[in-house]
Structure 1
Amino acid sequence: MHNGSCLCGAVQIAVSVALPQPNACHCTACRKQTGHYGASVDLPRSAVRVSGEDHVKWYQSSDKVRRGFCDICGSTLFWDPVHHDWTAIAMGVFDGPTDTSLSLHIFVAEKGDYYAIADGLPQNER
């Protein structure tokens, strides 16, 4: 079980499965939403329990994706592809050890010019 929350604690998340390896997304939308780049892990919706759901607000960033955040503290929580049975949870949400590590970087063609990716992980242009 992995637990986590937003910054203020109004939204609590419990995950009932081991976390797979997350990715780091450098697309413009993720950078604008998070303030840097987004790191998230894809999980089946059936493995995720959310308390304080009334504080989760959704921004429909495209026809296929919505982004969830806490309406009190603004913490980035979810990247949710609405036509799939999984959701992505921001890695910063989790408390304590996650027992996982980044697998790759995506959308590096859109990364900011103020940082370098030097960890040796695979980098996908899109």
Structure 2
Amino acid sequence: MHSGSCLCGAVTLTVADRLPSPNFCHCLKCRKHSGHYFASTDVPRAALTIVGEEKLTWFQSSQNVRRGFCSTCGSSLFWDRLDRDWIAVAMGAFDGPTETAANLHIYVADKGDYYEIADGLPQHGTVPPRD
């Protein structure tokens, strides 16, 4: 079980499962949403419990995707494509150890010009195909 929250604690979350390896998304929308690239882990919806949902605001960032943030402190918490059975949770929201290791970088063709990716992880210009 892993728990976390936004900066002010108005929105808390619990994932009743192990956390999959996080991905780093460098697309323009994720960079604007998070202030840098977005580090997140894809968890099954059924494993996620959110408390304080009344403080969670959803922004429809494209036809298929919405992004969730705390309406009090502004913390970026979720990337949600509604037609999938999982939701991406921001790694920075978790309290304590996550027992994970980074997996890969996506949308690196859109990354900011002010940093380099030099961690040796796989890099994809867009999103890698899923098996």
Instruction: State the partner residue of 1:40.
Output: 40
Q: CA deviation at 1:51?
A: 0.3
Alignment of 1:1-126 (within 5 A): 1-126=1-126
Residue ranges of structure 1 left out of the alignment (5+ in a row): none
Looking at structure 1, the residues matched to 64 and 101 of structure 2 have their Cα atoms a distance apart, in angstroms, of 27
Match of 2:33, SS state, is: helix
| Superposed CA offset, 1:51-109 (max 9, x none) | 00000000000111000000000000000001111100000000000000110000000
Q: Which amino acid aligns with 1:84?
A: R
The number of aligned residues is 126
Residue ranges of structure 2 left out of the alignment (5+ in a row): 127-131
Supply the RMSD in Å over aligned alpha carbons. Answer: 0.4
Runs of 4+ aligned residues of structure 1 deviating over 4 Å after TM superposition are none
Identity %: 62
Looking at structure 2, the residues matched to 84 and 124 of structure 1 have their Cα atoms a distance apart, in angstroms, of 21
Segment drifting more, 79-88 vs 109-118: 79-88
Match of 1:67, SS state, is: strand
Match of 2:118, SS state, is: coil
Looking at structure 1, the residues matched to 110 and 84 of structure 2 have their Cα atoms a distance apart, in angstroms, of 25
Looking at structure 2, the residues matched to 18 and 85 of structure 1 have their Cα atoms a distance apart, in angstroms, of 16
